Chains A and B, each alone.
Chain A
Amino acid sequence: MRTQEQTESELLDLAAAHFKADRKTLRPEDDIFEKLGIDSLQALELLTRLERHFGVELPDYELQGVSDFRTLAERIFVRL
């Protein structure tokens, strides 16, 4: 069973790997769109990766208004 911190860390690892960002520069409080420089289609790619990695379903509406990694990790964690 993952902890919320592990979920957050895995999310940052995955985002860094998929969008070729420097993992060391990503922090949980960072704005996802700003930090990764992604658009809505790339956000969908991330959503698919997250669903596969964590084995959960993440309805798009649950992610509305979510801009930082920490909140996104919380939304994932409650579905684990």
Chain B
Amino acid sequence: MIRTKLEGGVLEIELCREPLNEIGTEMLGALEKVDLGGARAVVLHSSLRQGFCAGADLRELYHAGKGMKPAERRKGVREFLGRIHAFLNRLDEAPVPTVAAVHGAVFGGGLELALACDLIVADRSTRFAFPELRLGLVPGFGGIPRLKRDVPNSLVRDLLFTGRSINAEKALQAGLVSQVVAEGQALRAARATAAQMAKFDPATAAAAKRFVKPFPRAELEKEMELFLELFERPVVQDALRKFVEDKGPMPYLP
């Protein structure tokens, strides 16, 4: 599900859960165990051909919550969100530089994961999307405040309100991505970038990061509350059911 490798001061975190690194309780448990200590830079990547990460495990979310009473379901979702926020906050505020090497689908929670990193290196096959509104939700892993931190609000509105995906070149123009490379080359470029960043004095790198990377704590909490408020509505449960039950080549999304 997750493999880690520390080499030359660079910690590589490899996501490898079929079909597309969906973040459910197991994946979250594996992420929580990742120790960033000892690293001077971090690279996060996926070894799956299809892409980086498709986001939250909607099938698990739907099936786990199906037999529960609303209060119980809300409690479970809150607990899960609290844990994923704790991990992403740890990654976001890590005292070392972090790079997400992405390709293919970087959707929903996958984009939220990449956004917690300091830099995103994308190959030309990459597509970024926040499809949550198509299911009656907003991103819940801290994606809105983190996206707002990096790109113009017009693009935040575009991605959120339409649920559409954008390619790597568009993401580069908007400042979401720092480098675009040829297909299959994101990890190589991210390794080179991390190795460069790992050369510098760690205390200086940590101080520079604290100085230039704002941490939107209040907004992250607000987003979580908004997600929980929206999640309980029948329209969301109905959309999740349609999405999970759709076996067609294009799963249901309005």
Residues of A in contact with B (beta carbons under 8 Å apart): 33, 38-41, 43-45, 47-48, 51-52, 57, 59-61
The residues of A that contact B20 with a CB separation of less than 8 Å are 41
Contact B249 A40 (CB under 8 A): yes
Residues of B within 8 A of A59 (CB): 162, 164
Contact B124 A61 (CB under 8 A): no
Check A48–B124 contact: CB distance below 8 A: yes
Q: A45-B125, A61-B162 are in contact. List 7 more A-B contacts (CB 8 A).
A: A40-B250, A41-B104, A44-B104, A48-B127, A51-B167, A52-B169, A59-B164
Using an 8 Å CB-CB cutoff, how does the interface string of B142-171 with A read, 1 for contact, 0 for none? 000000000000000000001111110110
Is A52 touching B127 in the complex (CB atoms < 8 A)? no
Q: Which of B50, B104, B165, B170 contacts A60 (CB 8 A)?
A: B165
A14 to chain B, nearest CB (A): 14
Chain A interface helix/strand/loop/mixed: helix
Q: How far is the CB of B34 from chain A (nearest CB, A)?
A: 26
Cβ–Cβ contact A48 & B162, under 8 A:
no
Q: Min CB distance, A56 to chain B, in Å?
A: 11
Q: How far is the CB of B118 from chain A (nearest CB, A)?
A: 25
Mark out the residues of chain B between 50 and 105 whose CB falls within 8 Å of any chain A CB in the assembled complex. Answer: 50-51, 104-105
Q: What's the minimum C-beta distance from A11 to chain B, rounded to whole angstroms?
A: 17
Task: Report yes or no: A52 in contact with B249, Cβ–Cβ below 8 A.
Answer: no
Contact A33 B167 (CB under 8 A): no
Q: Is B216 an interface residue (CB 8 A)?
A: no
CB distance from B51 to the nearest CB of A (A): 7
Q: Is B251 an interface residue (CB 8 A)?
A: yes
**A38: which B residues are within 8 A, CB to CB?**
249
Cβ B164 vs Cβ A33 within 8 A: no
Q: Establish whether residues B127 and A33, one from each chain, have CB atoms under 8 Å apart when the complex forms.
A: no
Given contacts A41-B51, A41-B104, contact A33 B250 (CB under 8 A): yes
B162 and A52 within 8 A (CB)? no
Which 6 residue pairs of A and B lie closest in terms of their CB atoms, listed nearest first? A59-B164, A33-B249, A60-B164, A40-B250, A39-B249, A41-B50
Asked whether A48 lies within 8 Å of B249 as measured between CB atoms, the reply is no
Enumerate B164-181 residues with CB–CB distance to A below 8 Å: 164-167, 169-170
What residues of A have a CB within 8 angstroms of the CB of B127 in the complex?
44, 47-48
Q: List 19 A-B contacts (CB under 8 A).
A: A33-B249, A33-B250, A40-B249, A40-B251, A41-B51, A41-B105, A43-B249, A43-B250, A45-B104, A47-B165, A48-B126, A51-B167, A52-B167, A52-B169, A57-B166, A57-B170, A59-B162, A59-B164, A61-B163
